[in-house]
Amino acid sequence: MELKTIELTKKFGSKTAVDHMNLALSNGVYGLLGANGAGKTTFMRLLCGIQTPTSGKIVLDGKNINSLGEKYRDLLGYLPQNFGYYPDFKALDFLLYVSALKGLSDKNTKEKSEELLEAVGLSAESKHKIKTFSGGMKQRLGIAQAMLNDPHILILDEPTAGLDPKERVRFRNLISAFAKDRIVILSTHIVSDVEFIAEEIIMMKSGKIVHFGKLQEITSEIDGQVWECIVPAAHAEEYAAAFNTSNLRNTDRGETILRIIADRPPMENAVGVQPNLEDLYLFYFKGDKKQ
């Protein structure tokens, strides 16, 4: 299966949210990164057919998704940033309701719904009303509803929002197991989740793709530009504000180790280190607010 965008463009008045995007996706997990306003959500909504392109097209195995119509939608699973639910529905009843909306066979929907509640750690809550759920529990229910139709293309917009570290590990394991022979695209502001899950990274800025590739390939661009420096802990915040700092950690000697992105050693004691995805994000989006 291959999902391609060809000169895909979406404009809202004078603003271009997605700008002549050319991308080819085959089976695998793709992490979508970009600052607020980069166009990530618009791109995902275009892929789902929720919005129509201003120009360009999206094709699946050579066929325009517009001509595929319902056949394409049957292949999709989608979790928006804020998915709709009825607060008085019980969790299992909600999944059965969504199954009916998706036109799934009555024969296996209850079994499938129960399996997914187990997979996202909500089986004990299956008969509880959604309005009693925490934010993380609602998000896990949203992930389950996106997977009800066993989609071949799964698109998840901020799926780890509200999840605690244990829940995020469960999610990563679930997606890794699910992703075989499927296209999975996920957007998250938690860069470490993308590093763990994604086989390839799509990095967007101002509606354009600035990087697309495997983690080691794209981080190689800033080889020789990531440094660790030791500074007095009392002045750590001052130093951190003066440089493009991706991380800091305190030692038990009253010192702080800063991780800094710079094209030359920022201090005399700077030691070069291997770049990671967080460093690359800061390199491109310093001063931008993550979403």
Domain annotation covers residue 289: no
Task: Return the CATH number at 132.
Answer: 3.40.50.300
**Does residue 24 sit in the same domain as residue 161?**
yes
Could you give the number of structural domains in the chain?
A: 2
14, 97: one domain: yes
Contact criterion met (CB below 8 Å) for 253 and 239: no
- Residue 57 and residue 169 in one domain: yes
Q: Within a domain: residue 122?
A: yes
160 part of a folded domain? yes
What pLDDT was estimated at residue 289?
45
The pLDDT value recorded for residue 205 is: 92
CA angle 265, 266, 270 (to 5 degrees): 60
13 falls in which pLDDT band (50, 70, 90)?
very high
Q: Which of 225, 192, 219 is nearest to 203 (CA)?
A: 219
Cα distance between residue 5 and residue 191, in whole Å: 24
Say if 279 falls within a structural domain.
no
Which of 250, 255, 283 shows the shortest CA–CA distance to 269? 255
147 and 261 fall within a common domain? no
**CA nearest 102: which of 66, 46, 147?**
147
Instruction: Kindly indicate the confidence band of residue 288, based on its pLDDT and cuts at 50, 70 and 90.
Output: low
Q: What is the mean pLDDT of residues 35-55?
A: 93
φ, ψ at 112 (rounded to 5°): -65, -40
pLDDT (mean) for 57-71:
94
- What single string gives the DSSP state of each residue in 250-266? E-TTSEEEEEEE-SS-S
Q: Is residue 17 part of a domain?
A: yes
87 and 127, same domain (yes or no): yes
Residue 240 shares a structural domain with residue 122:
no
Q: What is the DSSP letter of 289?
A: P
Instruction: Give a yes or no: residue 193 inside a domain.
Output: yes
Name all contacts of 193-197 with Cβ < 8 Å and 24+ positions apart: 193/31, 193/160, 193/168, 194/31, 194/33, 194/277, 195/31, 195/276, 195/277, 196/172, 197/29, 197/31, 197/172
Q: Do 193 and 88 have their domain in common?
A: yes
d(CA 155, CA 76): 8
Clarify whether residues 211 and 109 are in a common domain. yes
Phi, psi of 114, deg, nearest 5: -65, -40
Apex 105 CA angle, 64 and 1, nearest 5 = 30
pTM: predicted TM-score of the whole model, two decimal places: 0.85
pLDDT single digits (tens) 210-266: 999 998 889 999 999 999 999 999 999 999 999 999 999 999 888 999 999 999 999
* Same domain for 157 and 248: no
Give the pLDDT score at 83.
82
Range(s) of the domain holding residue 93: 3-219
Q: Is residue 107 part of a domain?
A: yes
Provide the mean pLDDT of the chain: 91
Locate 272 and state its tokens: 């070069």
Residue 290 lies in a domain: no
Q: Are 282 and 261 in contact (CB under 8 A)?
A: yes
Among the candidates 177, 203, 219, a domain finishes at 219
**Shared domain check, 148 and 24:** yes
- Identify whether residues 69 and 200 lie together within a single domain: yes
Q: Could you tell me if 103 and 14 lie in one domain?
A: yes
